[in-house]
Amino acid sequence: MNVFITGAAGGLGRAFAVECAKRGHDLFLTDIDNKRLDSIKNGLLRRCDIKAVVYPCDITQDCAVKEMMAFTEKLDMRFDMLLNVAGVDFEGGFAARESKQIIDIVKLNVEATLRMTHNVLAHRRRNLPFYIVFVSSLASMYPVPLKATYAASKRFLLDFSIALGQEMKAQNVSVLSLCPGGLPTTEQALNGIAAQGFWGRATTNRLETVARRTIARVLKGKRIYIPGVLNRTFSIAGRLVPPCVLARMLHGRWKKAQAKWLSV
């Protein structure tokens, strides 16, 4: 199987790359950070008997993505799986952020993800199943004040993935939306988890476990995966509790957490 991974040099992307490599899948890895891409490529090739191609790319730029896809054509690569991992968040209130940061969240999390999905779908291996994973978030299940743009962008991915999965079912395409709680990927993420105290730790998922179970579920044709019993319980609240009540509750929680962590 050839697996295409965006955001492959970050914590979750790397975990997915390692999981796919352990399963013997060949990889096409992209990220904006070329040094870290080379590092993960070296690590994978030294431990697993697979082929791994890396291509640094800013997937928010249409022409850059077109060049990347032309590169895959030169290698005669067709794909069986796409893992849309690349994403970004900038912590803090909407008005307190620069407008460029707000737009960048949408540009990467939504626009670039759609661009990659459309392009890689056109390069899928014919007559074989194709699998797509969208990395959404538990935050997609509610309106989240102080993470409003991020949560809304992940909500877009959740709804889009469910709709796309139904639309492309007849074409042998399986689509899964991964909705994790906190993931210990970057120092900022770890600080954010710590700032949330007990609930931060309780809703955090181990990257390697998430990667392994996500791949297993998308291969089985599952549509949504919410890691962790507590997170699944919280996701039910998203459907039962009125949105305005949820927004009020989450505002209180995030205000306390961000005050503690952003002031450090």
Q: Please give the C-alpha separations between residue 121 and each of 128, 130, 252, in angstroms, as whole numbers.
A: 12, 8, 41
Residues 6+ apart with CB under 8 A from 250: 142, 143, 144, 145
Q: How far is the CB of 71 from another protein (least distance, A)?
A: 23
Q: Binding residues for another protein, per CB under 8 A?
A: 9, 11, 14-15, 17-18, 35-36, 38-40, 42-44, 46-47, 184, 190, 201, 206-208
Contact 8, 30 (CB under 8 A): yes
Specify the residue, 35 or 74, whose C-beta has the smaller distance to another protein.
Answer: 35
- Write down the least CB distance from residue 202 to another protein, Å: 12
Which is closer to another protein, CB of 206 or CB of 255? 206
CB of 204 to another protein, least distance (A): 9
Give me the sign of the Cα torsion angle 55, 60, 63, 69.
positive
Nearest partner of 182 among 214, 230, 220, judged by Cα: 230
Q: Residue 37 CB, nearest distance to another protein (Å)? A: 9
Which alpha helices (DSSP H) does the chain contain, by range? Answer: 11-22, 34-47, 62-74, 99-106, 113-121, 148-167, 187-195, 197-202, 207-219, 229-240, 243-262
Nearer to another protein, 145 or 227 (CB): 227
Min dist. Cβ of residue 31 to another protein (A): 11
Of 172, 161, 77, the C-alpha closest to 129 is 172
Helix, strand or coil for residue 84? strand
Is the Cβ of residue 37 or residue 224 nearer to another protein in the bound state? 37
Q: Which is nearer to another protein, 36 or 232 (CB)?
A: 36
Please report how close the Cβ of residue 15 comes to another protein at its closest, in angstroms: 7
CA distance 14 to 95: 33
Minimum CB separation of residue 193 from another protein in Å reads 10
Query: Per-residue DSSP letters for 133-181?
Result: EEE--GGGGS--TTSHHHHHHHHHHHHHHHHHHHHTGGGTEEEEEE--S
Report the residue number, 42 or 171, with the smaller CB distance to another protein.
42
Q: Which is nearer to another protein, 34 or 101 (CB)?
A: 34
